[in-house]
Amino acid sequence: MTVLAFDTATPATVVGVLRADGTLVERRDDPAPRERPHHTDRLLGLADEALRAAGMAFADVARIGVGVGPGSFTGLRIGVSTARGLAQGLDVQLVGVSSLAALAGGARGHSHVLAVLDARRGEAFVAAYEDGVERLAPRVARPEELPALAARHDGQAWVAVGDGALRFSEELERGGATVPAPDDPAHRIGAAAVCELASRAPDLGRDAVVPDYLRVPDAEITRRARTT
Do 49 and 10 belong together in one domain? yes
pLDDT (tens digit, 9 = 90+) per residue, 182-208?
A: 999 999 999 999 999 999 999 999 999
Which pLDDT score, from 0 to 100, does residue 228 have? Answer: 52
How many domains, the chain?
2
Do 58 and 162 belong together in one domain? no
Residue 147 pLDDT > 70, yes or no?
yes
Which pLDDT score, from 0 to 100, does residue 144 have? Answer: 97
Number of helices and strands in the chain (H, E): 8, 9
Do 129 and 156 belong together in one domain? yes
| Host domain of residue 62 | 3-99+189-227
Mean pLDDT of 66-73: 97
Mean pLDDT of 127-152: 96
Which pLDDT score, from 0 to 100, does residue 217 have? Answer: 60
Q: What angle do CA 71, 72, 76 make, to 5 degrees?
A: 85
Which pLDDT score, from 0 to 100, does residue 109 have? Answer: 87
**CB contact at 8 A, 96 and 66:** yes
Residue 52 pLDDT > 90, yes or no?
yes
Q: Identify any residues that bridge with 115 across adjacent strands, giving them in sequence order.
A: 127, 161
Which pLDDT score, from 0 to 100, does residue 222 have? Answer: 43
Do 117 and 170 belong together in one domain? yes
Do 87 and 15 belong together in one domain? yes
Do 14 and 81 belong together in one domain? yes
Do 86 and 37 belong together in one domain? yes
Residue 141 pLDDT > 70, yes or no?
yes
Which pLDDT score, from 0 to 100, does residue 218 have? Answer: 55
Which pLDDT score, from 0 to 100, does residue 223 have? Answer: 45
Do 10 and 93 belong together in one domain? yes
Do 77 and 161 belong together in one domain? no
Residue 142 pLDDT > 90, yes or no?
yes
Mean pLDDT of 106-111: 91
Q: Lowest mean pLDDT: which of 5-9, 41-45, 62-66, 222-226?
A: 222-226
CATH of the domain at 166: 3.30.420.40
- Residue 116, helix vs strand vs coil: strand
Do 89 and 21 belong together in one domain? yes
**CB contact at 8 A, 61 and 24:** no
Q: Lowest mean pLDDT: which of 9-13, 54-58, 132-136, 150-154?
A: 150-154
Instruction: Give the dihedral of Cα atoms 30, 36, 39, 45; nearest 10 deg.
Output: -70
Cα–Cα dist 223/228, whole Å: 9
Cα–Cα dist 142/158, whole Å: 18
- DSSP for 1-34? --EEEEE-SSSSEEEEEE-TTS-EEEEEE-PPTT
Do 35 and 10 belong together in one domain? yes
Do 150 and 172 belong together in one domain? yes
Q: Decide which of 154 and 61 is more confident.
A: 61
Which pLDDT score, from 0 to 100, does residue 155 have? Answer: 80
In the structure, what pLDDT confidence band is assigned to residue 226 with cuts at 50, 70 and 90?
A: very low
In this structure, the chain runs to a length of 228
